[in-house]
Amino acid sequence: MSLTKRDKFTPSRTPYAFAPATFDGERVDALWASRKHGETVVTLGSYRLFSFTDRDASDFDSLLSVADTRYGGNWMFRWDGTTLLHNPEFKSAFGGWQSVTEKLDAVLRGFPEVPVDWDGWYYREKAV
């Protein structure tokens, strides 16, 4: 499976946006949309980019097209417009709960636009 960039925003297919400036050689900050109980929600977390097939790919751009995507993202926060869920594995919020809620609310209300400084929308393609 790989990641393919598409112009169309389809929350039911879990589109991802990445913050390329946060790529550390293994992980990158990620936002993704999904549908829960008929509503669109936004999730903030990280995404591990690696490839089993192309060991020479090491920069963000080259890894996107060959990334093994079986494991998806590691979520930190999920926002549905009224409730903020926090993954207990992460100890602190970025600038406090209010700040996280405001940032995610702006992303949720801004869909289908890709947030500034993020690159999206990418979709996981199934292996054939």
Residues 123, 32: contact at Cβ < 8 Å? no
Residues 118, 111: contact at Cβ < 8 Å? no
Residues 47, 63: contact at Cβ < 8 Å? no
User: Quick one: which of 32, 65, 63 has its CA closest to 50?
Assistant: 63
Q: What is the pLDDT of residues 17-52, one digit of tens each?
A: 999 999 888 888 999 999 999 999 999 999 888 777
Instruction: Enumerate the domain spans of the chain.
Output: 2-125
User: Quick one: which of 52, 54, 50 has its CA closest to 24?
Assistant: 50
Neighbour count for residue 51 (Cβ, 10 Å): 17
pLDDT of residue 57: 67
Q: Where are the alpha helices (DSSP H) in 80-119?
A: 97-110
CA atoms within 13 Å, Cβ hemisphere of 124:
20
Residues of the chain with pLDDT under 50: 127-128
Q: Using a cut of 0.85, tell me whether the model's pTM lies above it.
A: yes
Find where tokens 């890709």 sit.
114
pLDDT of residue 128: 40
Q: Residue 39 forms beta bridges with which residues?
A: 36
Give the distance, in angstroms, between the CA of residue 120 and the centroid of all CA atoms in the same chain: 9
pLDDT of residue 93: 57
Q: How far apart (Å, rounded) are the C-alpha atoms in residues 14 and 85? A: 18
